Amino acid sequence: MSAAAEGRPPAAAAAAAGEMVREATAWCALHGLVVGDRADPRSGTVPGVGLVHAPFSLLPTHLPESHWRQACELAPIFNELVDRVSLDGDFLQDSLSKTKQVDDFTSRLLEIHRKMMEINKEENIRLGLHRSDYMLDSETNSLLQIELNTISASFPGLGSLVSELHRTLIDQYGHLFCLDSKRVPGNEASSQFAKALARAWNEFNVDSAVIMMIVQPEERNMYDQYWLAKHLKESYPFMLFLSSTCPLTIHYTWHNDYQENFVRDGKTVSVVYFRAGYTPNDYPSEAEWAARLLLEQSSAVKCPSISYHLVGTKKIQQELARPKVLERFLENKEEITKIRKCFAGLWSLDDEEIVKSAIQKPELFVLKPQREGGGNNIYGIDVRETLIRLQKEGGDALAAYILMQRIFPKASLSNLVRGGVCHEALTISELGIYGAYLRNNDKVVMNEQSGYLMRTKVSSSDEGGVAAGFAVLDSLYLTDKAM
Amino acid sequence: MSAAAEGRPPAAAAAAAGEMVREATAWCALHGLVVGDRADPRSGTVPGVGLVHAPFSLLPTHLPESHWRQACELAPIFNELVDRVSLDGDFLQDSLSKTKQVDDFTSRLLEIHRKMMEINKEENIRLGLHRSDYMLDSETNSLLQIELNTISASFPGLGSLVSELHRTLIDQYGHLFCLDSKRVPGNEASSQFAKALARAWNEFNVDSAVIMMIVQPEERNMYDQYWLAKHLKESYPFMLFLSSTCPLTIHYTWHNDYQENFVRDGKTVSVVYFRAGYTPNDYPSEAEWAARLLLEQSSAVKCPSISYHLVGTKKIQQELARPKVLERFLENKEEITKIRKCFAGLWSLDDEEIVKSAIQKPELFVLKPQREGGGNNIYGIDVRETLIRLQKEGGDALAAYILMQRIFPKASLSNLVRGGVCHEALTISELGIYGAYLRNNDKVVMNEQSGYLMRTKVSSSDEGGVAAGFAVLDSLYLTDKAM
């Protein structure tokens, strides 16, 4: 394959890069591929001010088509798996019993979950909007799962736009790089998520009911959410859409009829879509926990329910990776094999052998705390030091973490554009596959792969997250060969 | 008619206003209704950074349908008039001969024009993208022309979006205000302008030729221009589109073949579209004047040509308003009557009677300098003082100005949104009607009304211009009754 096709632009292409960057950032401004600029103190609370283009990769990241297909095939299987696991309340409680001792956040979630078990709360309509994140391990040339997000999976809106941006740029400049825009897969993540929310509303079957999106009071990524709202409003005009700006301290009136409906502003809420509530910061007082409980008790479809939320924890990810656990939830052996193939090594810290290995060769492991939100993973020499400290502390201290095999994706040169400036950097990429699942009792209404998100970050940085400023939004370019 | 229909919202509507403002500003961010924020020093030069929603009116301004029709009907007549006047070089030179003495900018334009007359330069393909601005005079209930812009008519891109924003808001909230989105006229200004540019390219008839847009090096309104570029690129992909960021000091190679083509980066330029060059600031050195002359000499279609540019001066506007002048250029009496009906009183300052009247009753006049760019008009008591000073100075000092009847539009309450904040204010509005005209020798290829722009400003302010911060972009709402 030519150098150009591998992303190293020839001279003509390099000369066009400056013009491309201007074209691309202008495209972002015209097409709503924007975020709040942290330099503007109002940009997270007032829409339309302090806008800046979302950071992006100038060209899409190459991915072998076989791995793309593999990731897409996994989406409906993971969707189904989440649903099955969510129904096994005892499994969730047991698996997380030690985590509960050391992590207050998980403990509070489990408490709500336990209360629902006590009243035999049934969720007949179950909606999941997930994102399963993968990296391509260069040692084994295999796609390995990093994590499965079952709450507030972000960037369905902006991610779709990046694919469109890349197609547009390739249509205009692709000949310089020997690229063909048809090799960038279509990405309808936000309209797919909107469709799933609308179908859940439909299953709820109350014409006057509304969908409520719960958001954080300050959110620089609000346009990702507004894109979803736009798709909902345009395609499903029969639904009023409420965006609660005051996150979990929602102003509610409790309509205590036999259906236990959740009512807001006089409207029954059919679906509660959480774009908040996934981090302890979203619960600054007891009021937010009370609201979360109230919502869970209501008849509204929760996306996610407390069970779905718990299935997405790292501890459950690790439990599912243990021998014979998948078999408890799935029958189809082919599906089990597919799922297991993408599991990286995952271990609980009560496995003394593996802790010993990790202290000896910390560079081969990642130490992951049970808390959510990213930015807390421990790498390299810190793995050793932390493990030794935790062992000394004794008791349940070790239960706050899990160990994961460290994945070594192949680094490649990318042009990252941020704040209107383009930087060439050695980067690694993470592929997220969105999945939408909707079930009403025995009827599976929807079980689909629903678009994707590529995130690319500077490889010398160990921490991810576009919001943290180390990573950019990206899309993908399908290639025939292995990377 | 109800209070609601007149734009005074009832209580429910007032309560919804806060939500509407957030919806509207978010819509702007998603749909590219943005400008560069003056608070960000890079916002005028680097696309995609320092963005803020364009200031806008929350709801469209009411306009009687009869006046709307009148303004639309005038567009093709003015298009034709500009073309006819442009062909009468002596008329332009004579009319502006005194202005030349006192205004260096007009003098330089006239010099280029004279040179073109000397070499009998013929412009067979003539493209005009104009905007005729009107106000509705409340004293006479008549639509009166403020000015006719024949160069760099701004906001075809953002103006179209405001109409779309208002339709969207009315679809969502219109029931609260008794409004119907179908009463907001469709507005395709930017795609219409793109079509006209593409057709001019087509008439030029060189497949490999490009269109060149000349812009200012710093332009916070760049997204208005990018919208036009987007429409061009999407609908007419056969054309390469160059946006010169270094305005009139263009880097050119002079291709001195028999056609006297203007060539840039190896490509023949078929159409030069000026979004710069209308103010003396765009000519900081002789290099820019040399470039303007070079372009004028070339075979490229200039939008506008030097003649079209001069037809748009205030002095020519005033000359056309003199008795029997219109008859020199138009034959159709009905059309002449229509044009004359929209002319406000316009006088040269060599009319001693009118100068005397203006000194006595300055509140009935506006004193307009011959310079372009807005922001220099003189109102109220300053009219008297300036006239007295100019009379004392004697000589040609008076020739630098024209007098215009002051128009008194009816003020009404509007909600103006700027920087995410909504202010209720007593406002007046100015209606701009875009016109596109394309001619190739005897063949009129295009002569159309091409969308509109409403601008609304706080009535206590005497100066206009969205860029100056006193005005907002707006659209219009057709009513049956007179205002």
- pLDDT tens-digit readout, B101-121: 888 999 999 999 999 999 999
Q: Are A290 and A363 contained in the same domain?
A: no
| Residues of chain B neighbouring A46 (CB-CB closer than 8 A) | 22, 25, 420
Between CA A25 and CA A91 the distance in angstroms is 48
Q: Is B269 domain-assigned?
A: yes
**Does A314 participate in catalysis according to the annotation?**
yes
Could you say which of A372, A432, A440, A464 is catalytic? A372
Tell me which residue in B28, B47, B172 faces A22 most closely, judged by beta carbons: B47
Task: Identify the band that residue B176 occupies on the pLDDT scale cut at 50, 70 and 90.
Answer: confident
> What's the DSSP call for residue B129?
E
A31 touches chain B (CB under 8 A): yes
A88 assigned to some structural domain: yes
- Specify whether A458 is located in the same domain as A388: no
State whether residue B240 is helix, strand or coil.
coil
Please tell me the predicted confidence (pLDDT) of residue A239. 62
- pTM beyond 0.90, yes or no: yes
- The string of DSSP letters for A407-429 reads P-BPPEEEEEEETTEEEEEEEEE
Q: Where are the alpha helices (DSSP H) in A236-312?
A: 286-297, 306-311
* Catalytic position from the list B80, B203, B319, B372: B372
Residues A286, A391: one domain? no
Q: Where does a domain end: B406, B426, B458? A: B406
Strands (E) located in B226-333: 241-244, 253-254, 262-264, 267-275, 301-303
The model's pLDDT over B328-382, given as tens digits with 9 standing for 90+, comes to 999 999 999 999 999 999 999 888 899 999 999 999 999 998 765 556 889 999 9
Residue B237 is predicted with a pLDDT of 62
Q: Evaluate whether residue A3 is within a structural domain.
A: no
- Specify whether the CB–CB gap between A27 and B224 falls below 8 A: no
Whether residues B35 and B134 fall in one domain: yes
Q: What share of chain A is helix, strand, coil (3-state, %, to 5)?
A: 40, 25, 30
- What's the gap between Cα B476 and its chain centre? 17
| Same structural domain, A356 and A256 | no
Residue to substitute from A20, A21, A22, interface B, most B β-carbons within 10 A: A22
Q: What is the pLDDT of residue B372?
A: 56
Say yes or no to pLDDT of A422 above 70.
yes
Sign of CA dihedral B339, B345, B348, B353: positive
Task: Tell me the average pLDDT of chain A.
Answer: 88
The answer to whether residues B373 and B301 belong to one domain is: no
Burial class (CB in 10 A: 0-12, 13-18, 19+), B106: buried
Q: Is A3 on the interface with B (CB under 8 A)?
A: no
User: Which tops the pLDDT comparison, A479 or A461?
Assistant: A479
Q: Nearest to residue A475, comparing CAs of A184, A246, A110, A202?
A: A184
Tens of pLDDT, residue by residue over A352-402, are 899 999 999 999 999 998 765 556 889 999 999 999 998 898 777 788 889
Give the Cα separation of A53 and A22 in Å (integer): 11
Alpha helices in A145-285 (DSSP H): 156-177, 189-204, 222-235
R_g of chain B computed on alpha carbons: 22
Catalytic residue flag (residue B131): yes
Q: Is the pLDDT of residue A3 over 60?
A: no
Task: State the average pLDDT over residues B455-460.
Answer: 86
* Domain tally, chain B: 2
| Beta strand A262-264 pairing with A253-254 | antiparallel
The one-letter code for the residue type at B482 is A
Q: How confident is the model at residue B3 (pLDDT cuts 50, 70, 90)?
A: very low
Q: What is the complex's ipTM, to 2 decimals? A: 0.91
Crossing angle of the two packed helices A156-177 and A11-31, in degrees rounded to 10 = 150
**Residue A51 contacts B where some CB pair is shorter than 8 Å:** yes
Domain boundary at B389, B406, B423, which?
B406
Answer yes or no: is pLDDT of A245 > 80. no
Domain CATH number, residue A370: 3.30.1490.50
Min distance A242 CA to chain B CA atoms (Å): 10
For residues B338 and B297, membership in a common domain is answered with yes
Residues B277 and B394 reside in one and the same domain:
no
Least confident among A142-156, B232-246, B395-409: B232-246
Residue pLDDT, tens place only, B285-332: 888 898 889 889 999 999 999 999 999 999 999 999 999 999 999 999
User: Which range has the worst mean pLDDT, A115-119, A295-299, B85-89, B266-270?
Assistant: B266-270
Q: How far is A53 from chain B (nearest CA, A)?
A: 5
Query: How far is the CA of A76 from the CAs of A79, A197, A336, A430, in angstroms?
Result: 5, 17, 12, 19
Residue B282 pLDDT greater than 90, yes or no: no
The number of beta carbons lying within 10 Å of the beta carbon of residue A115 is 14
B468 has pLDDT over 50 = no
Is A30 in the B-facing interface, judged by CB distances under 8 Å?
yes
CA-CA distance, B320 to B326, in Å (whole number)?
Answer: 6
Indicate whether A354 and A444 sit together in one domain: no
Of A47, A50, A419, the CB nearest to B22: A47
Q: What pLDDT digit, counting tens, does each position of A168-190 carry?
A: 999 988 888 899 999 999 999 99
Residue A427 shares a structural domain with residue A294: yes
Residue B94: predicted pLDDT = 97
For residue B233, the chain A residues in CB contact (below 8 A) are 172
Residue of B nearest to A240 (CA): B172
Between chains, do B28 and A48 touch, taking CB under 8 Å as contact? yes
d(Cα B37, Cα B55) in Å, to the nearest integer?
11
Q: Is the peptide bond before A304 cis (omega within 30 degrees of 0)?
A: yes
- Which band of pLDDT confidence, cut at 50, 70 and 90, is reported for residue B469? very low
pLDDT digits (tens, 9 = 90+) for B33-84: 999 999 999 999 999 999 999 999 999 999 999 999 999 999 999 999 999 9
Residue A252 pLDDT: 37
The answer to whether B45 faces chain A, any CB pair under 8 Å, is no
Three-state DSSP class for A46? coil
Q: Measured between beta carbons, which residues in chain A are less than 8 angstroms from residue B49? A: 25, 37, 52-53, 419-420
Catalytic one of B132, B149, B261, B475: B149
For residue A230, being part of any structural domain is answered with yes
Shared domain check, B205 and B248: yes
- Give residue A480's pLDDT band: very low, low, confident or very high (50, 70, 90): confident
- In a domain, residue A224? The reply is yes
Establish whether B451 is an annotated binding residue: no
DSSP tag of A173: H
Is residue A273, in this structure, part of any structural domain at all?
Answer: yes
Query: Which of these three, A406, A438, A453, is where a domain ends?
Result: A406
- Highest averaged pLDDT of the listed ranges B15-24, B60-69, B210-219: B60-69
Q: How far is CA A448 from CA A80, A160, A213, B462, in A?
A: 10, 16, 22, 59
Question: Among residues A195, A199, A264, A455, which one is catalytic?
Answer: A455
- How far apart, in whole angstroms, are the C-alpha atoms of residue B160 and residue B188? 6
* Domain around A105: 13-344+407-478
A8 inside domain: no
Q: In this structure, is residue A483 part of a structural domain?
A: no
> Which are the contacts of B90, defined by CB distance < 8 A and separation ≥ 6?
none
B421: left (phi over 0), alpha (psi -120 to 50) or beta: beta
Confidence of residue A251 (pLDDT cuts 50, 70, 90): very low
Same domain (yes/no): A371, A263: no
